[in-house]
Amino acid sequence: MTRVILQPRKAQPFLARHPWVFAGAIAQVEGTAADGDVVSVFTHDGRFIAYGIYNSRSKIRVRLYSWDQNIHIDRNFFRQRLIQAIQLRHEVLRLNQPESGYRLVFSEADFLSGLVVDRYNEWLVVQLSALGLVQRREWLVEALRELVPCRGIYLRAEKGIGQLEGIDLQDGLLWGEEPPGELEIVEHGVRYLVSVTAGQKTGFYLDQRENRWCVSQLCTGKRVLDAFCYTGGFALQAGRQGAAEVLGIDGSEGAIALAQRNAVLNSLSGTVRFDCADVFDRLAELVQAGERYDVVILDPPKFARSRTTVPEALRGYRRLYHLALRLLVPGGLLVSCCCTGVILPEELEEVLTQTAVALRRDVHILERRGPAPDHPIALTCPETGYLKCLVCHVL
């Protein structure tokens, strides 16, 4: 097997089981490795670190999968990893209910770098973001079919990933029946239509499931603003838990159209309204109009991909906090979500502190939350802990 030898003093992260070996850490490749080949990775002085899959077209030159020299990366290896991932969701978390939506496999968090599998009712939706796994997709599909009874397995090609990994992928069926235009899932009693073929990501933001539930418990009788609402995630759960009035805002016409249909589906169109607009503009208009809310939820998209654009991303948060605090009644609640992994929790809290001080408001953090447990955080790959959710009391 081809050996990849690391630079002296560059091996520590990989001995500590981080799975991404960038080109800069590599001293030499002994032998030839085609893209997608299994290689073994060694320290400069000949200690085995792990087996991985090589890709010269990616900045992540080797993705590591097995740190045990006796466990090789073969068909059975992937099957065992899938069994492990599925056991967590089905046997530990008991998410295996009819009509449910949850993440079955979460890439590095399940020690399967480059593979995401979401289950929506009777369909599985797969994202492949590593060339080595694209090449082995037959193995993965076969194991999934066997381990999770389903009607079909559909591939959603992640935007931009083709270029990053040298993969040529299109959305489409990998196995079984085509999913219908919309699937229905039930989350803590709320029915959501999900378009797995045309929606964002694989169709729904499953990572926010428990945050939607937790926040909804604080919304009974309240006037709620759900900014960046997508297809109505937080808004509809708040409505179901008895919010007096809910306004959801999102910039995507498709998302708002589905949100409106979801409101009808849950008999909530009397209290939950949706508006297609830019959140920054619409919040500024609501401030101008003197509107006030008891609860403001902010769940913006990723604002930065790397540390270099974090300052700009934080300026976005500063603007949002400014607007949200002015819309909140004294004693109101701010829910601030952040899925930008490269922003640190303390950076976000610092911006909120500064904004609150500038506006002479006192803020308590009631809860620092993270993703739902079907999106576990691998200690050895901190990037898997990207989602932050602050529940704050604003005086």
Instruction: Specify the residue, 34 or 264, whose C-beta has the smaller distance to ligand SAH.
Output: 264
At residue 348, what are phi and psi to the nearest 5 degrees?
Answer: -65, -45
Q: Is the distance from CB of 352 to CB of 346 less than 8 angstroms? A: no
Binding site for ligand SAH (CB under 6 A): 200, 205, 208, 212, 228-230, 233-234, 250-252, 255, 278-280, 299-301
Q: Which residue has the tokens 């797995």?
A: 196
Instruction: Specify the residue, 18 or 319, whose C-beta has the smaller distance to ligand SAH.
Output: 319
Q: How far from 131 is each of 168, 259, 367, CA to CA, in Å? A: 9, 35, 39
Packing angle between helix 345-358 and helix 310-327, nearest 10 degrees? 40
Q: Is 73 helix (H, G, I), strand (E, B) or coil?
A: coil
Nearest approach, Cβ of residue 252 and ligand SAH (Å): 4
Q: How many CA atoms lie within 13 A of 343 on its CB side?
A: 26
Q: CA-to-CA distance for 113 and 116, rounded, in angstroms? A: 9
Q: CA-to-CA distance for 29 and 6, rounded, in angstroms? A: 9
Instruction: Specify the residue, 264 or 357, whose C-beta has the smaller distance to ligand SAH.
Output: 264
Q: CA-to-CA distance for 228 and 353, rounded, in angstroms? A: 22
Q: Is the distance from CB of 344 to CB of 314 less than 8 angstroms? A: no
Q: How far from 302 is each of 253, 293, 339, 382, CA to CA, in Å? A: 19, 25, 6, 17
Nearest-CB residue to ligand SAH? Answer: 233
Instruction: Specify the residue, 131 or 390, whose C-beta has the smaller distance to ligand SAH.
Output: 390
For the question of residue 338 being annotated catalytic, the response is no
Q: Per the residue annotation, which of 229, 339, 381, 389 is the catalytic one?
A: 339
Instruction: Specify the residue, 34 or 198, whose C-beta has the smaller distance to ligand SAH.
Output: 198
Nearest approach, Cβ of residue 150 and ligand SAH (Å): 23
Closest by Cα among 276, 311, 316 to 299: 316
Nearest approach, Cβ of residue 192 and ligand SAH (Å): 8
Nearest approach, Cβ of residue 293 and ligand SAH (Å): 16
Nearest approach, Cβ of residue 191 and ligand SAH (Å): 14
Residue type, 342: V
Active site residues: 339
